[in-house]
Amino acid sequence: MWSYFANPHKFLRLSDWLAPTFYAVGTLCIAYGLWQGLWVVPKDEYQGGDIMRVMFIHVPAAWLAMASYSALAVASFIWFVWRHELADIAAKSIAPLGAVWTAICLATGSIWGKPTWGTWWQWNDARMMSVLFLFFLFLGYMALRASMDTRQKAARAGAILAMVGAINVPLIKFSVDMVESIHQGASVITADGPKMAAVYLTPLLVSAIGHSLFFGGLVMTSMRTEIRERRIARLRAASLEGA
């Protein structure tokens, strides 16, 4: 199956219509989610009043932070085992976008935290800490790739690091969970989770789907650019050789 998707030509043909579709449907979903979230659903005083509406960006961003790192790890694994260049291109494209959504998650979480918890940053909140370390993993990945002198080396080094990071994520999560369970502060409120009222659930879900599609579209566009950049680099090297 991978070898089918590993073909850059097929990918270019597929993403030619798939990426715009993702953008269109994604934008519609995000717009619906925002409209519902900002104007339609009632505010929840327990969650901090109107500020809780940031949830419709925060929760999808949190979901994408985790999903994008998983995708990065999977792409890295595929590249490491089968050496399909497209998997590396995908990994390279996912990383900066994943970092952006992770940063959005941190920023919106912080903005939400100030009025509800009374602090911009809650050190004993396991989710905040996990996402922060996820952000660092993304940064380390990008910095490592950038410091390698050829694309082949960047691919190999990046894949090793992404896989090492991925197997450590559960352990990191477990350890910060432990901190939270021990230093449980009275002010900490469960901001999302199963207690969520049903009225929020649908717009939230639509919004999350929208963000995912939009993210997917951006990854595809970025991959298309990267494929073409590599092609240009190859052509340039070939023409230099011929000269």
* Contact flag: residue 139 with other proteins (CB under 8 A): yes
Residue 158: phi and psi, rounded to 5, are: -60, -45
Q: List the interface residues with other proteins, window 176-195 (CB under 8 A).
A: 176, 178-179, 181-182
* Contact flag: residue 225 with other proteins (CB under 8 A): no
Give 182 or 198: the residue with its C-beta nearer to other proteins.
182
Angstrom distances, CA of residue 128 to CA of 106, 110, 187: 7, 9, 15
Residue 169 and residue 69 in contact, taking contact as beta carbons nearer than 8 Å? yes
* Contact flag: residue 164 with other proteins (CB under 8 A): yes
Q: Which stretch binds other proteins (CB under 8 A): 20-28, 68-76, 164-172, 187-195?
A: 164-172
| CA separation for the pair 123, 108 (Å, rounded) | 16
DSSP H helices, the chain, are: 2-5, 8-35, 55-82, 85-117, 126-147, 151-182, 198-242
* Contact flag: residue 163 with other proteins (CB under 8 A): yes
Q: Which stretch binds other proteins (CB under 8 A): 30-38, 48-56, 145-153, 201-209?
A: 145-153
Of the candidates 38, 143, 197, 201, which one interacts with other proteins according to CB under 8 A?
A: 143
Give 57 or 72: the residue with its C-beta nearer to other proteins.
72
Question: How is residue 33 written in tokens?
Answer: 């989610």
| CA separation for the pair 99, 104 (Å, rounded) | 9
* Contact flag: residue 96 with other proteins (CB under 8 A): no
Sign of the torsion formed by the C-alpha atoms of 179, 120, 210 and 189: positive
Residue 155 and residue 88 in contact, taking contact as beta carbons nearer than 8 Å? yes
* Contact flag: residue 81 with other proteins (CB under 8 A): no
* Contact flag: residue 174 with other proteins (CB under 8 A): yes
* Contact flag: residue 117 with other proteins (CB under 8 A): no
Contacts of 124 (CB under 8 A, 6+ apart): 179, 180, 183, 184, 185, 188
Residue that has been written with the tokens 């950038």 in this structure: 146
Shortest Cβ 128–other proteins spacing (Å): 13
Of the candidates 34, 148, 188, 205, which one interacts with other proteins according to CB under 8 A?
A: 148
Shortest Cβ 76–other proteins spacing (Å): 12
| CA separation for the pair 35, 192 (Å, rounded) | 20
Q: Which stretch binds other proteins (CB under 8 A): 34-42, 108-116, 130-138, 203-211?
A: 130-138
Binding site for other proteins (CB under 8 A): 133, 136-137, 139-140, 143-144, 147-153, 156-157, 160-161, 163-165, 167-168, 171-172, 174-176, 178-179, 181-182, 230, 233-234, 236-238, 240-241
